[in-house]
Structure 1
């Protein structure tokens, strides 16, 4: 039993060694949310004035959160008990259950910009900027609503104007870490096990029926038959909600055949950003990861870009109008070559313009976010800069090729594919 699994604030304090600290609660609804919040609560490192606690409210895509927090070594409060305590600050990247938390709240987007529309009957709203996202369950306004770009103020003014006084344009942490890590691209490629001259195709998917994974049964045979081997490697980066919604075993079972062909299936807990930086091409959809791909200077093919799900004024809509659409009538090889030629001729500049819409505070997220948190906490900031760190080296692609579904045994073809992939 954790020292924090007690029934009252008094009992909680009794079990602590360092007492009288400012208490920060991280609300971890899903793996996607907690990975985004990790960029925030890590800014509190080394500050002995602050105790960070974690809780995981019920969520349809909450699978994997407990394991993720366990790997962090977090002090986790059960949701029912977390809702009975008071905190000096709460951090959240999603709205569910926040009406039960007693704390000044900072809310953040959990992806790039505000890309998606939620269709509710005949109505549609931009996910993340509407009143249900900012003042859920009838709670009062947050202490701060974090926005990545000053243009998002216009959307907020239309959808939840009462939140404008607490809006703070802070930036985007993933944007900043990818940009800071671009010089390490050769190191990431070596760590992934890519040979000299070998090309990496990153196939990325958001979640939902209209995502690229929603039609994976049509795409996967083409990846296997047209791209595997021949001097190329393929990595699948699938949204954690797909893993949570269907179950990790099922996703691995569906993709078990990938192993024999050397396709890497990146698990939801892994840091996908270094794989994206290392990619030579990106096959994606209307999700955040594809949009972040515009930072990497890799040509992009869109396997899916459903107009009805895309915020029409977002950079994702601009990317859907710019990137070539994957065609069923031509080979993948020829389409990758076409995308590379288009990128070299003129799309590089267009992608750069789209990427500039991810944040209006490039390189300044850590500085702005730390300043905001300490203002809400009522503390002075530590006397050292808030640094944007480069991404860590990834594991080898081959470590993500192993099948652990228990559905079969290795074959000679498996061994041949492994030998080819690691030669």
Structure 2
């Protein structure tokens, strides 16, 4: 059966399908970031013959790479136009673009660590109306004045407090389920030494992870100032890996990003691909140098020493984990050698130093998959399977050498 025929069969529910009379769930993956978060939800439907899962990748400014990522998981996508015309029993989405057009109840899944970035499009705000993060804003949750999703899932109880101020109409469909990244990182901490060995770290070597969100105020937006400092770290004692938001690759193109990082070649600086599992390298880090993005906030769950790059204050929510972290963590300076600053920060680092920040990431630690499955099955009007959710463990990462910056002309994407 060809891929085209398979897609058509999934949409039409034709009589040639072997397993029939299934509830049909549509996964709407706008970007790689959204697809990675949605994977934590659709994996909960594995092994259930009562459910057929269909995938689509709508047009999006940062949509480059989504189909490749899904294909790497063995997933074929149906065209967005076909998905819009078909009927489904449920749809899972992390983004809001176009989901009101679907002929299905929609579950909106929040992504990232604690709703950091404030709404950028303020054209629809009334005079004096406060800017809210996207997943807490009326602009993202209402369509023609009515709540669009059948369910909205959040990581923390305090999100409901903010929702009560920003979009109280959405409270009846809001659910607190926790954060899957929090659960995976906490569970993976016991495997830290295995991850370090898999990455190829020698005894005595220290791993510096540089995290970056996307946008002009991100670490990558000003990486030209940081790269010389990273390149001057003593080669024998330090290994460096860049964890960049997938939107950086999608916005500029993989060739361009690797071209800009051509100076890293031969300097032992690895560039983690956007589709890679990033939790294991984060757990393995000795230092995390980051900005106001989610990965930096998730780093507070690890034992790593944290340092921040200078970031914006007006563009992030004052109630977010990133805002609190910015008041606690030291900020790197271009005026001093980076290895001196790493050592200084390590001397002052104490276990549990950022416990207050980490506590803002989830108010249901260890419960995401159980709570998320309950929401999905309730909306599907199906009884849950009589076993605990199937949650695959974090995979071992490849050696850092496999991710080290390569010639953009031969990079395989």
How far apart are residue 192 of structure 1 and its match?
0.3
Question: Is the alpha carbon distance of 1:20 and 1:228 closer, same or farther for their aligned partners in structure 2, counting shifts above 3 Å?
Answer: farther
Look up the match of 1:366.
369
Look up the match of 1:326.
332
Question: Is the alpha carbon distance of 1:82 and 1:282 closer, same or farther for their aligned partners in structure 2, counting shifts above 3 Å?
Answer: same
- Find the aligned partners of 2:54 and 2:145 in 1 and give their Cα distance: 25
Q: Which region of structure 1 is more displaced relative to structure 2, 132-141 or 254-263?
A: 132-141
Look up the match of 2:226.
219
Is structure 2 residue 203 aligned with structure 1 residue 177? no
| Pairs within 5 Å for 1:68-147 | 68-120=69-121, 124-136=131-143, 140-147=147-154
Q: Is the 8 A contact 2:10 2:54 kept in 1?
A: no
Look up the match of 1:196.
203
How far apart are residue 358 of structure 1 and its match?
0.3
Q: Which of 274, 291, 298 is the equivalent residue of 1:268?
A: 274
- Find the aligned partners of 2:393 and 2:346 in 1 and give their Cα distance: 27
How far apart are residue 404 of structure 1 and its match?
3.9
Q: Is the 8 A contact 1:177 1:389 kept in 2?
A: no
How far apart are residue 349 of structure 1 and its match?
3.1
Look up the match of 1:237.
243
- Find the aligned partners of 1:339 and 1:88 in 2 and give their Cα distance: 52
Q: Which region of structure 1 is more displaced relative to structure 2, 72-81 or 273-282?
A: 72-81
- Find the aligned partners of 1:138 and 1:99 in 2 and give their Cα distance: 12
Q: Is the 8 A contact 2:62 2:247 kept in 1?
A: yes
Q: Is the 8 A contact 2:206 2:237 kept in 1?
A: yes
Q: Which of 343, 347, 358 is the equivalent residue of 1:341?
A: 347
Look up the match of 2:4.
2
Task: Provide the secondary structure at the position in 1 that maps to 2:202.
Answer: coil
Question: Is the alpha carbon distance of 1:163 and 1:395 closer, same or farther for their aligned partners in structure 2, counting shifts above 3 Å?
Answer: same
In structure 1, the gaps of 5 or more residues are 409-423
Question: Is the alpha carbon distance of 1:277 and 1:195 closer, same or farther for their aligned partners in structure 2, counting shifts above 3 Å?
Answer: same
Whose helix proportion is higher, 1 or 2?
1
Q: Is the 8 A contact 1:115 1:127 kept in 2?
A: no
How far apart are residue 127 of structure 1 and its match?
2.3
Q: Which of 293, 300, 307 is the equivalent residue of 1:301?
A: 307
- Find the aligned partners of 1:245 and 1:379 in 2 and give their Cα distance: 40
| Pairs within 5 Å for 1:47-62 | 47-62=48-63
Q: Is the 8 A contact 1:119 1:125 kept in 2?
A: no
TM-score, with structure 2 as normaliser: 0.94
How far apart are residue 283 of structure 1 and its match?
0.3
Is structure 2 residue 290 aligned with structure 1 residue 284? yes
Q: Is the 8 A contact 1:3 1:16 kept in 2?
A: no
Q: Is the 8 A contact 1:177 1:391 kept in 2?
A: yes
Q: Once the two structures are superposed, what CA deviation does each residue of 1:383-418 show, in whole Å capped at 9, x if it has no partner?
A: 11125543110000000115141289xxxxxxxxxx
How far apart are residue 177 of structure 1 and its match?
0.4
- Find the aligned partners of 2:243 and 2:358 in 1 and give their Cα distance: 20
Look up the match of 1:16.
17
- Find the aligned partners of 1:120 and 1:402 in 2 and give their Cα distance: 35
- Find the aligned partners of 1:58 and 1:145 in 2 and give their Cα distance: 22
Look up the match of 1:246.
252
Q: Once the two structures are superposed, what CA deviation does each residue of 1:9-36 show, in whole Å capped at 9, x if it has no partner?
A: 5x44234221110101000000000000
Q: Which region of structure 1 is more displaced relative to structure 2, 261-270 or 302-311?
A: 302-311
- Find the aligned partners of 1:119 and 1:49 in 2 and give their Cα distance: 41
How far apart are residue 304 of structure 1 and its match?
2.9
Q: Is the 8 A contact 1:363 1:388 kept in 2?
A: no
Look up the match of 1:419.
none
How far apart are residue 139 of structure 1 and its match?
6.3
- Find the aligned partners of 2:144 and 2:239 in 1 and give their Cα distance: 47
Task: Provide the secondary structure at the position in 2 that maps to 1:366.
Answer: helix
- Find the aligned partners of 2:296 and 2:368 in 1 and give their Cα distance: 21
How far apart are residue 350 of structure 1 and its match?
3.6
Q: Is the 8 A contact 2:269 2:405 kept in 1?
A: no
- Find the aligned partners of 2:410 and 2:95 in 1 and give their Cα distance: 36
TM-score, with structure 1 as normaliser: 0.92
- Find the aligned partners of 2:302 and 2:185 in 1 and give their Cα distance: 8
Q: Once the two structures are superposed, what CA deviation does each residue of 1:57-87 show, in whole Å capped at 9, x if it has no partner?
A: 1100000001111111113110000000111
- Count residues in correspondence: 403
